Amino acid sequence: MKLITKALIFVSSIYLVSPALAGETASPADARVYFVNLLDGDQVTAPISVIFGLSGMGVAPAGTEKANTGHHHLLVDRPALGQGEDGADELEYGLPSDEQHIHFGGGQTEVTIDLSSGQHSLQLVLGDYAHTPHNRPVVSEVIHITVD
């Protein structure tokens, strides 16, 4: 009995001291988000069509709490999700909404964006009903495109 109690205390303490690495909504191990029509290094002309691909999960509008779903976010010209100044916060508390973090809370799976001439980075991130990345986060690779 004592051994079980000790084991429980030990397990509890792991949870207490572990920093949160992501939100609380689980994602399937095989879930994947990707750019359908853009590759790293592409040269494009504005306005730019961006099509979001998702496999292993479904799209649901923001606010819809349903297992194995989420909505798309496009990260523009910033470090990869979880990197940079607010990296830990965005994984735990969710993504801000601004020019660098575009939400598709309506469940959209594509967008046409206008970007200035020059090089830009893009990354897709799936967010749960509350705009928080899943645990494990479902993210695309960061791609760099050059706009004419």
Nearest to Cu ion of 44, 103 (CB atom)? 103
Tell the smallest beta-carbon distance from residue 141 to Cu ion (Å): 20
Do 142 and 100 meet the contact criterion of CB atoms below 8 Å apart? no
Q: In angstroms, give the least distance from the CB of 9 to Cu ion.
A: 38
Distance separating alpha carbons of residues 38 and 24, to the nearest angstrom: 30
Q: Does 127 bind Cu ion (CB under 5 A)?
A: yes
Cα 118 to chain centroid, rounded: 24
C-alpha 96/C-alpha 34 separation (Å) is 21
Over 30-67, what HEC string results?
A: CCEEEECCCCCCCEECCCEEEEEEEECCEECCCCCCCC
Question: Could you give the string, one character per residue 48-87, with x where binding to Cu ion holds by CB under 5 A and - elsewhere?
Answer: ----------------------------------------
Nearer to Cu ion, 78 or 131 (CB): 131
* Contact status: 131 vs Cu ion (CB under 5 A): yes
Stretch that binds Cu ion, among 34-42, 81-89, 97-105, 115-123 (CB under 5 A): 97-105
Sign of CA dihedral 142, 22, 131, 90: negative
- CB of residue 131 vs Cu ion: minimum separation in angstroms? 3
Q: Closest separation between CB of residue 10 and Cu ion, Å? A: 37
Contact pick of 59, 68, 93, 103 for Cu ion (by CB under 5 A): 103
Cα–Cα nearest to 124, from 87, 93, 95: 95
